[in-house]
Chain A
């Protein structure tokens, strides 16, 4: 068996290496965008699906059964190539839009999922263009409070993480290029809509939010 070298067929493999790995330089003089996944994130999400691997002829050695499955999946792949726009409610206005990510604890493993954060006059959501999927959303009324925390990531550079305390004590964690700008924008919008925001939130060691009594 010869290893695959073709650029198109191995783009996902290249991205896995080039975006997350390589020599790490612990110096003050580095600028790296590794902590905030702006680069390549859409591209990686777009390539993550099985249909892409099929498109590049990966499963050539598979047997009859999965070839039938291949054709079933084929139509799915075609749909994804259409240009997708975030589905808005009628009359909904976008206040702020920025790249960011959301901490997803629902899947097999906990991970940061990236996309376009949208703050509208009705809700706050994370939209993945390439999958045309709203990964996370909350009506503004459900936001009870917010807190900021600096968290270290694998590059050892601390990044600002925004914690949203939602109805039922659910917590959403978000990060973006300018997390302060996002926090301020949400606060502003909440004020405009007259939704009360708990100012006295305390973040304990495990990132659990509680209100100060």
Chain B
């Protein structure tokens, strides 16, 4: 409705006007009440330090109250890598951290400094933050991606499935028209067969991985080439000590013909702190 649009314009402008002044770029919340300087390891070499409240602290650097933006891929890459390095440094220093996504900035308001806003937020969410901290203590996130080759799977199915084997024979001996129709049928059967296999392997691998980790998040698979497909994309939360077990299981899966495993980590647990 046009009237609603007019109202919305006003809101948008108000939000923009407030975005001036100083802010604090937020990297993570750490399990420590110490006021510490971590050095000039922030984005663009900014000084990173902690803002404590009781036994938690926010890890920040000072910045203008607006998002970091750039059209230059290299600049963005540098920022992203710097962000991660700071989170990892805090992880190393303080033991447990709740990582925050890139480009989260806490701003100040008329009578309230950004520092105060941080402390107010930490105070308000204190219980939830402490609970999250406990849940992830001693754990790390690992990425597990399993790829497979559908063609290889199709060949396997063609070798063992009677109906498909017979169809293949028929196609060779029949007329062009008939052969075409049979080929269509064959393709359908193969497609169904591949789907069944995908389902089977997904469930099997998932169950095996599940035994080695504390929690799993199933992520979206990425579109790849037709020849190779991503069967599953998982984020796993596991004890840092137990990652060896996970690695061993993945080694076994990687050895299964037609499959390949990609194992990354340890990551600060980005995927497991989302609903704080």
Contacts and interface: CB of A to CB of B under 8 A. Distances in A.
B107 A22 contact: no
Given A22-B270, A30-B106, A39-B76, A108 B223 contact: yes
Given A21-B271, A31-B65, A46 B73 contact: yes
A109 to B, nearest CB: 7
A5 B247 contact: no
A25 B104 contact: yes
Contacts of B147: 59
A1 B250 contact: yes
Interface stretch (B46-54, B79-87, B183-191, B198-206): B79-87
Contact of B274 (A13, A21, A27): A21
B263 interface: yes
Contact of A3 (B80, B108, B109, B142): B142
B42 interface: no
Interface in A1-55: 1-5, 7, 10-11, 13-25, 27, 29-34, 38-40, 42-43, 46, 48, 50, 53
A150 interface: yes
A168 interface: no
Contacts of A40: 76, 80, 102
Interface of A: 1-5, 7, 10-11, 13-25, 27, 29-34, 38-40, 42-43, 46, 48, 50, 53, 58-59, 61-63, 65-66, 69, 73, 99, 107-109, 147-148, 150, 160, 180, 199-200, 202-203
A22 B105 contact: no
Nearest to A21: B270
27 contacts: A1-B251, A5-B264, A11-B77, A15-B80, A17-B141, A18-B80, A18-B270, A22-B102, A22-B104, A22-B270, A24-B274, A24-B276, A25-B104, A27-B106, A31-B107, A32-B104, A33-B67, A39-B68, A39-B103, A40-B76, A40-B80, A58-B262, A66-B149, A147-B5, A148-B8, A180-B9, A200-B2
A43 B76 contact: yes
B102 A19 contact: yes
Contact of A19 (B101, B114, B263, B271): B101
Interface string B119-147: 00100110000001000000001110001
A198 B162 CA distance: 61
B100 to A, nearest CB: 5
Contact of A33 (B69, B262, B270): B69
Contacts of A23: 28-29, 98-101, 132, 273-274, 276
Contact of B100 (A1, A14, A22, A50): A22
Contacts of A21: 101, 270-271, 273-274
Given A32-B67, A33-B103, A46-B73, A62 B98 contact: no
A20 B77 contact: no
Interface of B: 1-2, 5, 8-9, 12, 19, 23, 26, 28-29, 65-71, 73, 76-77, 79-81, 83-84, 98-109, 114, 117, 121, 124-125, 132, 141-143, 147, 149, 152, 219-220, 222-225, 227-228, 235, 243, 247-248, 250-251, 254, 257, 260-267, 270-271, 273-276
B80 A14 contact: yes
